[in-house]
Amino acid sequence: MEQQITSRRPHSNGAELRREVAQLRQEVAWLKRHYQQTVRAAIDVLPFEARSHYLGLDNLNSQDDLNQFLYDLRRLVKQEAELLPPRFPGDDDRVACPLCVSHARGPYRGRGDGWGAERGIDLHLQRDAGENGCHIMQVLREHAVREYRSREHSLER
């Protein structure tokens, strides 16, 4: 018994499909440009030393190098975090993220509204944006991983 293959769109012709494919390609090109602009903007926000470090992304040769690269990036960003002035006497140390300038709303905040200096900023820079993390660091981290993996696969060929 022969099985007939039917299109999801039985009434569409070749011209309509070509138009849809062309439109999808335009949308993909727009998304790529938007992603690249987002990454460039995130890099521009980095403090000078962290930006210089990030531009060395092409020198990664192993997963360990990538992990060390991301650790060093967090360390360099964290160095730029400045203590916020106390809001009242006895206020705990608190800092604002030097990238997104957000203040803590999580378990490691001081009595004020900023990050508890050491542990809070570490967590903020390591977490995903949905978990009260830094959305700029998340973009940079995901970009670094994507770039490393794309280079890794291109070297295998």
Q: What is the pTM (predicted TM-score) of this model? A: 0.72
pLDDT tens string 79-134? 888 777 666 666 666 778 888 877 654 444 544 455 566 777 888 888 887 777 88
How far apart (Å, rounded) are the C-alpha atoms in residues 149 and 128?
20
Report which of residues 62 and 128 the model is more confident about.
62
How far apart (Å, rounded) are the C-alpha atoms in residues 111 and 113?
7
Instruction: List, in sequence order, every residue forming a beta bridge with 154; answer none if it has no partner.
Output: none
User: Which residue intervals of the chain are DSSP H helices?
Assistant: 14-45, 48-54, 63-79, 117-126, 135-156
